[in-house]
């Protein structure tokens, strides 16, 4: 996706991009970083205006922040904060089905933050004594779990804190290249999650490699992890991984270790 971003001295960003042949201009302001999960206080969010606005000259400098996945463009403001545009396919259908129309769109996502971004930690092992590949991990921001309090039966967040982890599988039974496997919520209180590559009306989505992308908390950047599949079953490694899950995911009542 082709896009540009400028930021004036007062912290108003102007984003220009083309979608479906049409040029769009958006101004964004009023938010930085993220709040910790709260049932009473909404998460931070941008004030967006979808038209040209009078703004000052661009003062954003070459980017000096941490590496980012799915990066389109980034810059660093004189106040030390960072701005970035990222683009990835969040809406792909599950279980490797081909995408078209809105399900294939590359979303353009804006972030504004200071300091560290969210941390997505993922480990791989096996489920049901090697029958299926399994991944588990946690999503944290500044040492605290990232999670929400309300969601639909299908796992779609209903508040501004909830986050889904979107998992892709490489060169699997679904076909060559990267295909969407599934997405699922992070859990209270640690931001933990777990997922087994079991059959869902199709052969298991076991691949050579896996990757996971999650929307950053608040208006911080989206974060991506990629790693190799666990390989042939190893009982010793699996038991050690299960012990580590019990330690790191203590307090999580939704991940069943097996």
Which of 94, 113, 132 is the endpoint of a domain? Answer: 113
Q: Does residue 254 lie within any of the structural domains?
A: no
Q: What is the pLDDT of residues 19-42, one digit of tens each?
A: 888 899 999 999 999 999 999 999
HEC assignment per residue over the chain: CCEEEEECCCCCEEEEEEECCEEEEEEEECCCCCCCCCCCCCCCCCEEECCCCCCCCCCCEECCCCCCCCEEEEEECCCCCEEEEEEECCCCCCCCCCCCHHHHCCEEEEEEECCCCCEEEEEEEEECCCCEEEEEEEEEECCEECCCCCECCCCCECCCCCCEEEEEEEEECCEEEEEEEEEEECECCCCEEEEECCCCCCCCCCCCEEEEEECCCCCCCCEEEEEECCCCCCHHHHHHHHHHHHHHCCCCCCCCCC
Q: Find, among 164, 166, 172, the residue nearest to 229 by Cα.
A: 172
Considering Cα of 90, then 218, then 224, then 75, what sign does the dihedral take?
Answer: positive
Model pTM above 0.85: yes
CATH code: domain of residue 218: 2.60.40
**What confidence tier does 256 reach under pLDDT thresholds 50, 70, 90?**
confident
137 token code pair: 């991990």
Q: What is the pLDDT of residues 105-130, one digit of tens each?
A: 999 999 999 999 999 999 999 999 99
Same domain? For 188 and 243 the reply is yes
Domain that holds residue 236: 119-248
**What confidence tier does 250 reach under pLDDT thresholds 50, 70, 90?**
confident
Same domain? For 127 and 237 the reply is yes
The mean pLDDT value of the chain amounts to 96
Same domain? For 132 and 59 the reply is no
């Amino acid at each position: 996706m082709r896009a540009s971003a400028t930021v004036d001295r007062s912290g108003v960003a102007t984003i220009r991009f083309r979608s479906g042949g049409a040029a769009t201009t958006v101004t964004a302001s009023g938010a930085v970083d993220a709040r910790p999960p709260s049932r009473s206080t909404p998460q931070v969010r941008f004030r967006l205006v979808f038209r040209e606005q009078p703004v000052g000259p661009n003062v954003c400098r070459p980017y000096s922040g941490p590496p980012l996945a799915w990066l389109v463009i980034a810059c660093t403001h004189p106040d030390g904060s960072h701005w970035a545009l990222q683009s990835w396919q969040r809406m792909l259908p599950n279980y490797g089905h081909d995408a078209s129309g809105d399900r294939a769109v590359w979303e353009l996502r804006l972030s504004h933050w200071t300091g560290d971004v969210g941390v997505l930690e993922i480990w791989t092992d096996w489920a049901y004594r090697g029958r299926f590949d399994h991944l588990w991990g946690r999503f944290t921001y500044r040492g605290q779990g990232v999670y929400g309090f309300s969601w639909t039966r299908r796992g779609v967040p209903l508040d501004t804190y909830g986050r889904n982890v979107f998992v892709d599988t490489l060169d699997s039974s679904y076909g060559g290249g990267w295909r969407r496997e599934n997405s699922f919520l992070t859990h209270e209180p640690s931001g933990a999650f777990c997922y087994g590559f079991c059959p869902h009306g199709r052969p298991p989505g076991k691949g050579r490699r896996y990757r996971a992308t999650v929307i950053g908390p608040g208006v911080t950047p989206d974060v991506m992890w990629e790693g190799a599949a666990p390989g042939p079953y190893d009982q010793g490694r699996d038991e050690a991984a299960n012990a580590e899950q019990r330690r790191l995911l203590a307090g999580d009542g939704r991940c069943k270790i097996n």
